[in-house]
Structure 1
Amino acid sequence: MSNDKMKNTILKAYAPASIGNVSLGFDLLGAALKPIDGSLLGDEVEIEIAEQFSLVVKGRFADKLPPDANSNIVTRCYQHFIAELQNQGHSKSTLPALKMTLHKHLPIGSGLGSSASSIVAALYALNQFFTEYLGKAPFDNNELLLVMGELEGQISGSVHYDNVAPCFLGGLTLMAEHQEQVALQLPVFDNWYWVSCYSGISVSTAAARDILPKQVSMADTIQFGRQLAVFVDALYRNDEKLAAAMMFDVIAEPYRKSLLPKFDESRSFAEQHGALAFGISGSGPTVFAVCDNLENAKIINQWLADNYIQNDTGFSHICQLDTSGASVSHS
């Protein structure tokens, strides 16, 4: 697309919500979500050429973000990206100013990778925009993922990829955290439904980490490693029963569930009604239930909507894994 045409074009990127940890893979597994009813469960960022940089924030959860645009993570993404372009030899005077619009569809502190979704949408949009504007991609996917992890670390306090990787790449991802291969995409079971219920309360990642023990026992460490290894092997052998049997959390859930009202009751109902697994999405308060048939998923989804949700900001969706990850469109 010519630069003249880009002046009249809006580029929009979408990045889906994600489940960090997926119970058994603390900081090492992540899964991207897509509601089966077609509703959006993720943030969007629009970019268009302007006279000077600006950020507009819209959407259901826009008022939960700081009103100062300079403190918004999308602004930081823009500043970081432009600095990296300058490091690559591009003069700032030759780069167009941009108006960015964040459509904040995900609640903050929900355990659905809210900050990761904004970061992925912003950086993916910027990379796609400047690929078209400059005629060459500033970053390949792995390089871009490293930048996403760095920006995510500015919010959470440490660099981790279990939300940004599935949000960007899609599907179910295992964190390699190797400089040349940050994340690996794993096989998935297409017939699994992931009921995802946000209660409406907020749990900060920092608070959820503070509640964890500073040391883990040898027995739990061995069990954690065994579960993750067996789970990955079962995925590749298409062994649903064994994979599901590994999906319980010995590291974080025993401590974090105390932060989530009605967690044990919700787990009990889900398991009694056919859930293959039940756990905390990321740091919570969102929980997820995995089912291998839609009827069970519908029953569990309705019960969670009626019983786990605490206020009118909560919601529950029947999802499958979003194997596409971040996407971009033009208008």
Structure 2
Amino acid sequence: MKQVNTQSIAFAPASIGNVSLGYDVLGAALAPEDGTRLGDEVSVESADTFSLTVVGPFAHKLPDNVNQNIVTHCYEHFIEACVKYGRRTHPVAMILHKNLPIGSGLGSSASSIVAALTALNKHFGQPFDNNAMLLMMGEMEGQISGSIHYDNVAPCYLGGMTLMTGKRVPAAVSLPIFDDWYWAICYSGITVSTSAARDILPRQVAVPTALEFGRQLGVFVNALHTGDRLMAASVMQDVIAEPYRKQLLPGFDEARAYCMNNGALAFGISGSGPTVFAACADKTTAQTLTQWLDQHYKQNEDGFSHVCRIPQTGALEQQG
């Protein structure tokens, strides 16, 4: 393969993992209405030796040693895969623009992983298809959380709302979305470790809870396909993780009560938290709830709120 000297850049959006009712199997990409680029960006260009530079508002939250950075691990994993399949490689210089807070529940690690692997795949001439890329992304995410899962990397990479299949091919499928829904999201500013949020969950669930989980997910997917907004909203209640994880989120119960009493269709924890979301039927309601969350749920100056939509596109490539 001829060495490419141009710069490849990829942006990967934030995402909602679980979307309340789909623990580890459902996810949705996020795009703020005001045009804010809520996500991480990675650039790649040819170099004599590998290097990684980390910049951006949350760069200081990452390890100083770039060998501990997930983007470095993505590079190593990608090169190993290229060698395995007989693809020619060369060293690169990478820059990570870390725009998402760590431990925010917005798919921060997934965004870095997706942006890094997308930029690398672009730089090396697209040697891997979407499903192969998703499998690599899931493996990288597993290094962060302790288990392979795709509920953030899949929507971040593909866009829209995605359902994980539990199979290798395809690893995820895209679902219809209600493009007239708005999502009020608020990151409180505190950090919740994904592994800690997993450790707080019980290792087993009761049969009635498992049945409720399966019923809700089935009804929700059917409602998306039939366009039944009221039915979809009616089953958006987390019976697996929220009862345990909400104790990690100061002000959660108050935020839920206010939003549900003031027009939200559904309210829940984004991923492991602390970010929360309120699904809304119109922009005005989303704006009102976003303002309230910004004033009452946000804990410090690192926090932020946005009115978002679910974008149909995920990771975006561009040539430098």
TM-score of the two chains, using structure 2 as the length reference: 0.98
Cα distance in 2, alignment partners of residues 116 and 125 from structure 1: 14
How far, CA to CA, are the matches of 2:229 and 2:129 in structure 1? 34
Shift of 1:3: 5.2
Separation in structure 1 between the aligned mates of residue 229 and residue 87 of structure 2, nearest angstrom: 50
Q: How do 1:209-224 and structure 2 match up within 5 A?
A: 209-224=198-213
The amino acid of 2:302's aligned partner reads T
Q: Quick one: distance in 1 between partners of 2:305 and 2:38?
A: 11
Number of the residue aligned with 2:170:
181
Equivalent position to 2:66, from 65, 69, 75: 69
SS in 2 for 1:235: helix
Distance 1:313 1:3 in 2: 44
Query: Structure 2 matches for 1:192-203, cutoff 5 A?
Result: 192-203=181-192
Which of 71, 74, 95 is residue 101 of structure 1 equivalent to? 95
Amino-acid identity (%): 60
Equivalent residue for 1:85, pick from 67, 73, 82: 82
CA drift at 1:177: 2.3
Q: 1:306 aligns with which of 281, 295, 298?
A: 295
Q: Map 1:1-331 to 2 at 5 A.
A: 6-7=4-5, 9-90=6-87, 95-131=89-125, 137-331=126-320
Amino acid at match of 2:58: F
**Offset at residue 59 of structure 1 (A):** 0.3
Hey, what's the Cα distance between the residues in 2 that align with 1:51 and 1:230? Answer: 54
Return the letter of the residue paired with 2:111.
S
Q: Is contact 2:160-2:177 (8 Å) kept?
A: yes
Q: Secondary structure at the match of 1:39?
A: coil
Aligned residues: 320
Deviation at 1:206, TM superposition (A): 1.2
Alpha-carbon offset, residue 214 of structure 1: 1.6
Instruction: Tell me by how many angstroms 1:209 deviates.
Output: 1.1
Distance in 1 (alpha carbons) for counterparts of 2:168 and 2:142: 16
Instruction: Look up the match of 1:134.
Output: none
Q: Which residue identity is paired with 1:65? A: L
Q: Which amino acid aligns with 2:129?
A: D
**CA–CA distance in structure 1, aligned partners of residues 285 and 87 of structure 2:** 55
Give the C-alpha shift of residue 96 in structure 1.
Answer: 2.7
Cα-Cα RMSD: 1.1
Equivalent position SS for 2:147: coil
Deviation at 1:109, TM superposition (A): 0.4
Whether the 8 Å CA contact 2:220–2:231 is kept in 1: the answer is yes
Distance 1:90 1:35 in 2: 38
CA displacement, residues 165-204 of structure 1 (integer Å, 9 cap, x when unaligned):
0000100000002111000100000100011110000000
8 Å contact 2:259–2:278 — kept in the other structure?
Answer: yes
**Residue deviations 1:78-100, cap 9 Å, x none?**
01111111111235xxx332100
- Partners of 2:76 and 2:192 lie apart in 1 by 28
For the Cα contact (< 8 Å) 2:21–2:238, is it kept in 1? yes
Q: Show CA shifts across 1:52-96 (max 9, x none).
A: 1100000000000000011100001001111111111235xxx33
- In structure 1, stretches of 5+ residues that fail to align are 132-136
Contact 2:7/2:123 (CA < 8 Å) preserved in 1?
Answer: no
In structure 1, distance between residues paired with 2:134 and 2:203: 28
2:178–2:229: 8 Å Cα contact kept in structure 1?
A: yes
Conserved? CA contact 1:16–1:322, under 8 Å:
no
